[in-house]
Chains A and B, each alone.
Chain A
């Protein structure tokens, strides 16, 4: 379950951006939040999550800082940057267009 095969290619980035758009979050919380929000459908494992986070950070769409977490330990919190916000808006619009188009076809068929 290292790579969530049921996740459409490239959508993991968008999900991460969307989730942390609400508030800064650490990796584990991001995975939990995606699972909850998707009604337990999407399971994001460590194997996909952390490389994605590091890639997003290297692209300067998110930044990170260390802070004390809810369980009292130090954790790495990720925050959306302005550039990331723009990417998210663009990706979301793109996704909605695509999803609408696919469901149109699926229903008529």
Chain B
């Protein structure tokens, strides 16, 4: 009952100011008059009575002010006044205002945008139930620390483990989807029946897989991703129960997955089909093609689980020595499996944007100091007129609030824009594999982060001038032309801030330099072939027509022949895996005639056509390439790379020697050629020993085409696709791209490029801000020393001496900044060691060039104020004071 009344009174005070004031006036006047009447009645003269009444009142205006205070009027009044005054002050110094707002917006925009990526990747929980208990399950072999499980091993692990509530498997593959309009390639995943239950994900429409629905005996069932449901079936619920033809097999759509569901390791998958183990690989214990995902039992730690699966791997190794020799086990949290690759780069970028924010903040602080310095007179006058220190500080707070509000608003716009830009810069094929980056937004977590920055900025924007205020005696400011202790104190503080800025800029520049150099060495790494003028295309032919070897050989020959006929094409090759994609698809071999104790010599195997190496532009070291006639009817042959020679034939001639797969009885394969190392795996991974087998002796209906052209690569792709369609419209093609694009957009090149560019951008901005900061300090110092310089010149100092005087000061600041920065950057470089390729953390050339760049930039920046100082007219400088 009391509070509504209080609220009403406060509102009245605010809204009916005039009336409240009038009433106050009348009330006090009434009292005064009664006092006077009393005095008159007591026999005083009129003048005496008035005087006594006035004395008893003790200042009518002061009383009013006290009453206003009691009504809480002054607080509101002062705040409004402060805000009004702040706006006027800021308008008066538009240059300062815009610069401060821009600095804040820039620093905030960069860090908030990067934070949004960090949030989407590392902070936002994965869209699964209790996702911290989910682990990725892998086998390990010497060549791959995280290798696939074979189906047989998966079944044994599932049966034997004591630590998983459930264990499931998945793989990723392309299917040929037959529609009324023809065939098209679709991305898909195969999963075991309990996969979605393990993740704790339920379809939004329809049902999950039944237990046992993944077995060969069961009818094929498939779940749609939400995107596929929207895109291909316009989100119609009747889709459940429909039959689709995938790879020629009818499959029933049983449901639709939730919109927010994603599972990066198998993305981009539109169709989630049951595993249905079939064909050579799924049924062979030695063929590893699956990934495992498991839910830990409650209370089971990662270590305990790891110990358990290691024991299982050992048991299987003992039980199946042929297939499971050296097959270990490893686990990783699912979050690590999904985001592990880009975690380091994101952290580096977050660090970089943080440094940029720091430098922007320091720059702003410096500006504020200069401004506070130039406002000493104003503050002194206000203080002399009775403004308390608290009131003056409140003025800074209000101004800071206005600046931070404007800067933050602009910063959010910048960050939103940056997020969109950065997402658009990610190549589409990579973005599809990082579904967690989709729908990046200014969510509450990101906004909270932005809020923290705003609060820090507000503290900076208010503490700096307030600190400055307390630094000097305000009264001193009144003295005309005073250049008291505060000026020097500011110069010292300002100089320290500039050193900090320059050092930060050095750290960012060194980081950018090292990352740039890494990218340079990565893209110039020897890949063993000529990627220019090469076009690549993936081909998948339907099983019904091309499952047999001879059918696939005909397909290969026909496609090569038809594409060679396209004008401009100089050579065409076929391989089961395109270069610079991965070292997977391995085989085990041994050298015939050498002692062998069952060890697995694991190498990637590529089945390539006769024209492959020529089309690729690979170098033949010795021996010969394959011939088109070499098929199953001819003796088995192989070409090996130099890495294989180095590892397995260090001191002998491999040509003419025989290898064999680990089959019983051995089937000899003669080595007929040695080719220079071709980069089969990622760019940054050293080339491993590799084995090349004639396509015609190991044919497949999935392969990649490599086409060398003398003409435009862009025009070739459509011509190739139509040539293939013309031959058989049932064949699908995908991932057509030039080899250079493939290499440049490969994950490792992309990660290196994006980090180099982004950190480079941060570094350039930092350099600019640092140099501007230095310019500010030197220019201010010159303006403060005008009189001194004038005196020196009047006493005969030459302009050269004045230049030296100013440049020496700037030179010292730069030197200290650069040295501190270089020391810090060697430390920082150690932190980004993992992202560096082909460059040392203390790369002298980088460090030296950064020092040089910063030195030159700083000298240029201080040259301008130095020239102003040297052109001072001594007479005027002395008279000015």
> Interface on A for B, CB 8 Å cutoff?
1-2, 26-28, 31, 45-47, 50-52, 54-55, 57-60, 66, 69, 71, 73-76, 81-83
Known: A27-B31, A28-B31. A58 touches B10 (CB 8 A): yes
> B37 — which chain A residues lie within 8 A by C-beta?
71
> Interface on B for A, CB 8 Å cutoff?
1-2, 5-6, 9-10, 23, 26-28, 30-35, 37, 56-58, 62-63, 66-67, 69-72
- Pairwise interchain contact B56-A45, C-beta atoms closer than 8 A: yes
16 CB-based A-B contacts, threshold 8 Å: A28-B34, A46-B58, A47-B58, A47-B62, A50-B27, A50-B63, A50-B66, A50-B67, A51-B70, A52-B70, A54-B70, A54-B71, A58-B71, A60-B5, A74-B30, A82-B1
- Pairwise interchain contact A58-B31, C-beta atoms closer than 8 A: no
- Determine the residue in chain B with the shortest Cβ distance to A57: B9
Alpha-carbon gap, A93 to B70, bound state (A): 26
A60 to chain B, nearest CB (A): 4
- Pairwise interchain contact A60-B70, C-beta atoms closer than 8 A: no
- Pairwise interchain contact A83-B58, C-beta atoms closer than 8 A: no
Alpha-carbon gap, A2 to B54, bound state (A): 11
- Pairwise interchain contact B34-A46, C-beta atoms closer than 8 A: no
- Pairwise interchain contact B58-A58, C-beta atoms closer than 8 A: no
Alpha-carbon gap, A66 to B569, bound state (A): 103
Known: A27-B27, A27-B31. A58 touches B66 (CB 8 A): no
> B33 — which chain A residues lie within 8 A by C-beta?
73
Known: A58-B6, A60-B6. A75 touches B67 (CB 8 A): no
Which of A46, A69, A74 has the most chain B CB atoms inside 10 A of its CB? A46
- Determine the residue in chain A with the shortest Cβ distance to B13: A58
> A27 — which chain B residues lie within 8 A by C-beta?
27, 30-31
Alpha-carbon gap, A54 to B28, bound state (A): 12
- Determine the residue in chain B with the shortest Cβ distance to A52: B70
The contact of A51 among B23, B35, B66, by CB within 8 Å, is B66
- Pairwise interchain contact B30-A28, C-beta atoms closer than 8 A: yes
> B6 — which chain A residues lie within 8 A by C-beta?
58-60
Alpha-carbon gap, A83 to B28, bound state (A): 26
- Pairwise interchain contact A50-B30, C-beta atoms closer than 8 A: no
Alpha-carbon gap, A81 to B8, bound state (A): 15
B140 to chain A, nearest CB (A): 75
- Pairwise interchain contact B69-A46, C-beta atoms closer than 8 A: no
- Pairwise interchain contact B31-A60, C-beta atoms closer than 8 A: no
> A58 — which chain B residues lie within 8 A by C-beta?
6, 9-10, 70-72
- Pairwise interchain contact B58-A2, C-beta atoms closer than 8 A: yes
Alpha-carbon gap, A52 to B67, bound state (A): 8
B107 to chain A, nearest CB (A): 44
> A54 — which chain B residues lie within 8 A by C-beta?
67, 70-71
- Pairwise interchain contact B26-A83, C-beta atoms closer than 8 A: no
> A26 — which chain B residues lie within 8 A by C-beta?
27, 30
- Determine the residue in chain B with the shortest Cβ distance to A1: B56
Known pairs A27-B27, A47-B57, A50-B27. 8 more at Cβ < 8 A? A28-B35, A46-B28, A50-B31, A58-B6, A58-B71, A58-B72, A74-B26, A76-B27
A44 to chain B, nearest CB (A): 11
- Pairwise interchain contact B63-A73, C-beta atoms closer than 8 A: no
The contact of A47 among B1, B5, B63, by CB within 8 Å, is B63
> B69 — which chain A residues lie within 8 A by C-beta?
51
Known: A58-B72, A76-B30. A51 touches B67 (CB 8 A): yes
Known: A2-B58, A28-B30. A46 touches B9 (CB 8 A): no
- Pairwise interchain contact A60-B27, C-beta atoms closer than 8 A: no
- Determine the residue in chain B with the shortest Cβ distance to A43: B56
Alpha-carbon gap, A51 to B9, bound state (A): 15
